[in-house]
Amino acid sequence: MIETHELTKRYGSTTAVDRLSLVVKPGRVTGFLGPNGSGKSTTLRMILGLAHPTGGHALVGGRPYSELRRPLHEVGAMLDPGAVHPGRTARDHLRSIALTTGISAARVGAVLELTGLTPVARRRVGGFSLGMRQRLGIAAALLGDPPAVILDEPVNGLDPEGIQWIRNLLRGMAAEGRAVLVSSHLMTEMEQTADHLIVIGRGRLIADTGMAEFVRGASRTDVLVRVDDPGRLASVLVGAGGDVASEADGALAVRGLAPRRIGDLAARADVAVHELAVRRATLEQAYFEATENAVEYRAGDGGRR
C-alpha cells in the first residue's frame, strides 16, 4: 500500500503539492490524473524518495522510502524511461540493477519475458524505440517482484498493441493483489484500465473515488429522446421537472428525469417515442468538469500562484 499524509512540496513561491493525503490500495489499478503542472510527478518523486517533502510524509508499505531495507522489493517504479545508458544492452541494464540490489539473475530473464523483450535482450538500448524503452522501464520496475507499482505515463509513445499490452499487464498486476498507481493524460485509456481515480489540481486533492462513481457524477449524463413532436413532449417533460435541451437534429436531451419516467410521460401524452437512449458521460467529460477551476486558475495567471 502507498499512502501520503498532508504531503506538501514548495519550490520557492510555488506550492507544487499542497497537503495531499491519499491511499493507493492493493488489488486495484488507481489512475492518477491532473492537468499539466498539477503536481503528479512531484508527488510520485516524493513517494519514491527522489524529492524531500516540505511538509507531511509519504509511506510505502508503512515506511518512508528512505527507510525501506530492500526498496525494489517494496515498490517498482517507472518515471522516466529515457534514463538508461544507450550503450548498454537491455539484459545488461537489468543485470546491473539486479546485481546492485541483491536481486537474482533469474528475475532478469523473467521480466524480459514478461515485457516481451527477450528477442531484443542483447541489443543496445540506444537503438530502442520509445515503446521498447517503456517496456524496459517496466521490466526494471518489476525486477523485485514488488507489491506496489508506480508508472508515470506508461503508454506514452506506444502503438495500439503496446497500449493493450500495458492495459492487460496493469490489470493482471492488480488481480495478483498489487497496488498499482498509474498516471496518464489519455482519458479513454484510463477509463478502460483504472478501477479507482485520484484527481489533483494545483497540488490539491480534487477526487479520490471509484471510476464508475466519478463518471456518474458528471453532469453530462443525459437521456436522448427522439419523437415526432418534440415541442409537445418538451413541455410535458419540463412540467414534470426535467431539464430539456434541443439537439441540432431536433432530438431532446433530457436531464433530471429517469428514462422510464420519460417513457411513461410520453405514453401518457400520446407521443410516439422512436429512440430513448441514456448518454453516459465519458471520463474525459467528468475530468474536464472536475478540473475546470484548476485549469482556469493556471491559465489565468500564467501558471504561477
Ligand X SMILES: Nc1ncnc2c1ncn2[C@@H]1O[C@H](COP(=O)(O)OP(=O)(O)OP(=O)(O)O)[C@@H](O)[C@H]1O
Does the protein bind ligand X through residue 118 (CB under 6 A)? Answer: no
Does the protein bind ligand X through residue 41 (CB under 6 A)? Answer: yes
Q: How far is it, in rounded angstroms, from Cα 136 to Cα 296?
A: 37
Q: Which is nearer to ligand X, 79 or 224 (CB)?
A: 79
Does the protein bind ligand X through residue 104 (CB under 6 A)? Answer: no
The binder of ligand X chosen from 2, 7, 16, 22 (CB under 6 A):
16
Q: Among 115, 113, 122, which Cα is nearest to 89's?
A: 122
Three-state DSSP at 110 gives: helix
Does the protein bind ligand X through residue 8 (CB under 6 A)? Answer: no
Q: Which is nearer to ligand X, 12 or 119 (CB)?
A: 12
Does the protein bind ligand X through residue 42 (CB under 6 A)? Answer: yes
Which residues are CB-contacts of 193 (< 8 A; sequence separation ≥ 6)? 29, 31, 166, 167, 170, 171, 182
Does the protein bind ligand X through residue 34 (CB under 6 A)? Answer: yes
Does the protein bind ligand X through residue 135 (CB under 6 A)? Answer: no
φ, ψ of residue 299 in degrees (nearest 5):
-65, -35
Q: What are the strands of the beta sheet with 55-60, ordered from one edge?
A: 14-24, 2-11, 55-60
Does the protein bind ligand X through residue 91 (CB under 6 A)? Answer: no
The grid cell for 225 is 429522446
Does the protein bind ligand X through residue 134 (CB under 6 A)? Answer: no
The binder of ligand X chosen from 10, 19, 26, 37 (CB under 6 A):
37
The binder of ligand X chosen from 22, 29, 33, 40 (CB under 6 A):
40
Q: Is 30 buried (19+), middle (13-18) or exposed (0-12) by CB count in 10 A?
A: buried
Three-state DSSP at 179 gives: strand
Among the listed ranges 38-46, 57-65, 98-106, 174-182, the one in contact with ligand X (CB under 6 A) is: 38-46
The binder of ligand X chosen from 31, 39, 131, 144 (CB under 6 A):
39
Among the listed ranges 36-44, 74-82, 163-171, 240-248, the one in contact with ligand X (CB under 6 A) is: 36-44
φ, ψ of residue 62 in degrees (nearest 5):
90, 0
Does the protein bind ligand X through residue 4 (CB under 6 A)? Answer: no
Could you list the residues that contact ligand X (CB under 6 A)? 11, 14, 16, 34, 36-42
